[in-house]
A and B are shown apart, each in its own frame.
Chain A
């Protein structure tokens, strides 16, 4: 794709004061890039292609936040940065953002990642430096077809579907660690005073963990797909997160990470939310609304 443009952008970021740039680099073969800190010494290993599916903002959790860091972000990852900025996890002056256009990535098995079908924007929403993609970028908004398809099942079927996965989950917490927005020092499911969730690996506590995480992501998830990608058991976590994103968009007209001025609905209030949302309605009558295209 556009590795050369990306290298130029990284060089500019380093010249402008970034101590290093978190970027995708060549890995052990052509379809397994890795992440590394780029300085002028190793800038030639910078790469960006359709295998760069994993999200880099997750590395900011371990980074020294007082240092000026550069970071390469795909459009979904740039939305994650917007949310992190809104939540005061990073300081804008300490981060040099290299935005990269993206046509979609491959999943761990080398196929087109189905999560990309729900992509909100193919262009980064926040950046200091920009690396264009070759060719035409679609301006169509991804839809929530997978969510709608799932909701055609009745309640018993839905429960059966998730029961199978909750039986499978081994509570490795890879989904949580891979997510750029799960940054709590001590996650509530690992607290013991009080203890909300049993540590033991069994369906009921797996349910509890996933429900809590899904709710904490509601109105924040940026559709980067890192959670599903990291899961060693291929649990379709993005389906739940996309359902919440779809509900938040339908009810409150809010899409996370697109506008740094707009705060997520769970921490804001509106006096005119229609009451039918308490009973399962979507409020605002926006179910048939065309999802806004991004330009």
Chain B
């Protein structure tokens, strides 16, 4: 059973009065998840945010330790964040993306900062009303809403609020929602679709040896934007910074599409060509990850398609692969 919510503002005000709250905000035409200063900032007239909520759990730069040299050298580890926070307005594909990243980062030994952010976040989902031009989440089957603590479904001029976990219930203490309402989620026809079943049946060795990758890489300039807007891409590098007698070590985002991502000391670079890098990206999303974790690491959000400056399309790639590789 769900509760009726007429207007989001009282709900947001309730959260903001108790917790650090993040939500979708539009700045210079882009929708991103930012810390909210007032409930009016939140926008809901978007399908998929331009930058994903990945940065709230796995930031572009996170310092892991600081050190001081000199007579009394010290090393200070950065403590993970504590204190509950609310993340409002995540889409179902966003929660799927988080669960996908969990498979890597929560594996023992877990990445502490990521675990802390996951543990302290109360996830309030917002089911989609209309698909974006690019998204294709339904290719992966019906959307699994598990993982949200609270889920809002827009319907007929109001929202149906489902409380899905104890965490969500606790966050709503003191909030008076409306009466009971039945949740109705509409089916949304999407413009794009990939034939996941046929893809899964492809022989991996055939994929590896195929020359379909040469064709796909023809129009790609290796700009890496796809990996930066992707909600599941999590490649990173570790960097050291020195400030005279102090220093810091940080985890920063990197990308498998980086020309020098696989360059080693000595100069060898196994993925020196764009063809190999593109192959790695697609195979990782649709073959290596499922092999390891039983889950694709693509959620069908379509951000990469929207952001690509060369207008490449991952669903087009899958079609080409299915055509080109099936013997």
B207 interface residue (CB < 8 Å to A): no
The verdict on B296 contacting chain A, using a C-beta distance below 8 Å, is no
Is A172 in contact with B228, judged by CB distance below 8 angstroms?
Answer: yes
The smallest C-beta distance from B215 to any residue of chain A, in angstroms, reads 8
With A28-B313, A230-B225, A232-B228: A201-B252 Cβ-Cβ less than 8 Å? yes
| Nearest-CB residue, chain B, relative to A27 | B311
Contact A234–B28 (Cβ < 8 Å)? yes
Q: Which residues in chain A, 169-196, are within 8 Å of chain B measured between CB atoms?
A: 170-174, 177-178, 185-186, 190
**Is A199 within 8 A of B239, CB to CB?**
yes
Please count the residue pairs between chain A and chain B whose beta carbons lie under 8 angstroms apart in the complex.
98
Interface pair B239/A200, CB less than 8 Å apart: yes
A173 touches B312 (CB 8 A): no
A32 interfacial contact with B, CB 8 Å: yes
Residue of A whose beta carbon sits closest to that of B269? A185
Q: Are B60 and A170 in contact (CB under 8 A)?
A: yes
Please tell me if the beta carbons of A36 and B260 are within 8 angstroms of each other in the complex.
no
Contacts of B61 in A (CB 8 A): 200-202
Q: How far is the CA of A35 from the CA of B51 in the complex (A)?
A: 25
Which residues of the partner chain B approach A61 to less than 8 Å between Cβ atoms? 221-222
Contact B223 A54 (CB under 8 A): no
For B29, B229, B241, the residue with the greatest tally of chain A CB atoms inside 10 Å of its CB is: B241
CB-based nearest A residue for B214: A37
A123 within 8 A of B: no
Task: Name the interface residues of A275-290: CB closer than 8 Å to any CB of B.
Answer: none
Cα distance A32–B253 in the bound complex, in angstroms: 29
Given contacts A32-B311, A232-B307, contact A174 B260 (CB under 8 A): no
Confirm or deny: B326 has a beta carbon within 8 angstroms of a beta carbon on chain A: no
Interface size class of A (residues with CB under 8 A): 35 or more
B239: A residues at CB distance < 8 A: 198-200
CB neighbours (8 Å) of A36 from chain B are 215, 218-219
Interface string of B294-313 (1 = CB under 8 A from A): 00000000000001011111
Q: What is the distance, in angstroms, from A230's C-beta to the closest C-beta of chain B?
A: 4
Q: Does B153 sit at the interface, judged by CB under 8 A?
A: no
Chain B nearest CB, measured from A20 CB (Å):
9
A105 to chain B, nearest CB (A): 13
- Identity of the chain A residue whose Cβ is nearest the Cβ of B239 in the assembled complex: A199
Nearest opposing residue in chain B for A64, CB measure: B273
A32 neighbours in B (Cβ, 8 Å): 311
- Residue A243, interface by CB 8 Å: no
By the criterion CB–CB under 8 Å, are B311 and A230 in contact?
no
**Contact indicator B241/A198 (Cβ below 8 Å):** yes
The verdict on A88 contacting chain B, using a C-beta distance below 8 Å, is: no
B217-241 vs A, Cβ < 8 Å mask (1 yes, 0 no): 1110111110111000000010101
- Does any Cβ of A come within 8 Å of B270's Cβ? no
Query: What CA separation (Å) do A233 and B228 show in the bound complex?
Result: 11
A62 touches B60 (CB 8 A): no
* Interface assignment of A3: CB less than 8 Å from any CB of chain B: no
B259 at the interface (CB under 8 A from A): yes
A178 to B312, CA, bound (A): 14
Contact among B30, B224, B237 with A233 in the assembled complex (CB-CB below 8 Å): B30
Q: Is B113 an interface residue (CB 8 A)?
A: no
Please, how many angstroms separate the alpha-carbon atoms of A108 and B219 in the complex? 17
* A62 near B225: Cβ-Cβ < 8 Å: no
Contacts of A171 in B (CB 8 A): 60, 253
Q: Does B274 contact A (CB under 8 A)?
A: yes
Nearest Cβ on chain B to A200's Cβ, whole angstroms:
4
Residue B116 at the chain A interface, CB threshold 8 Å: no
Q: How far is the CA of A35 from the CA of B241 in the complex (A)?
A: 40
**Shortest distance between the CB of B33 and any CB in chain A (Å):** 14
Q: Which of A4-47 contact B (CB under 8 A)?
A: 22, 25, 27-28, 32-37
Contact: B219 with A174, CB < 8 Å? no
Minimal beta-carbon separation of A161 from chain B (angstroms): 12
Cα of A59 to Cα of B310 in the assembled complex, Å: 10
> Does B50 count as interface, using CB distance less than 8 angstroms?
yes
Give the nearest-CB partner of B248 in chain A.
A200
A244 located at the interface, meaning its Cβ lies under 8 Å from any Cβ of chain B in the complex: no
State the Cβ distance, A155 to closest chain B Cβ, in Å. Answer: 23
Q: Which residues of A contact B (CB under 8 A)?
A: 22, 25, 27-28, 32-37, 54, 58-59, 61-62, 108, 170-174, 177-178, 185-186, 190, 198-202, 226, 229-230, 232-234
Q: Closest 3 A-B residue pairs measured CB to CB? A: A35-B219, A230-B309, A177-B223
B residues within 8 Å of A by Cβ?
28-30, 50-51, 60-61, 63, 215, 217-219, 221-225, 227-229, 237, 239, 241, 250, 252-253, 255, 258-260, 273-274, 307, 309-313, 316
Other than the known A22-B218, A186-B260, A232-B307, what 12 A-B pairs have Cβ atoms closer than 8 Å?
A28-B313, A34-B310, A37-B215, A54-B309, A54-B310, A62-B217, A200-B61, A201-B61, A229-B309, A230-B223, A230-B225, A230-B309
A selection of 9 A-B contacts at a CB cut-off of 8 Å is A36-B219, A59-B221, A62-B217, A170-B51, A172-B228, A198-B241, A199-B237, A200-B239, A232-B51
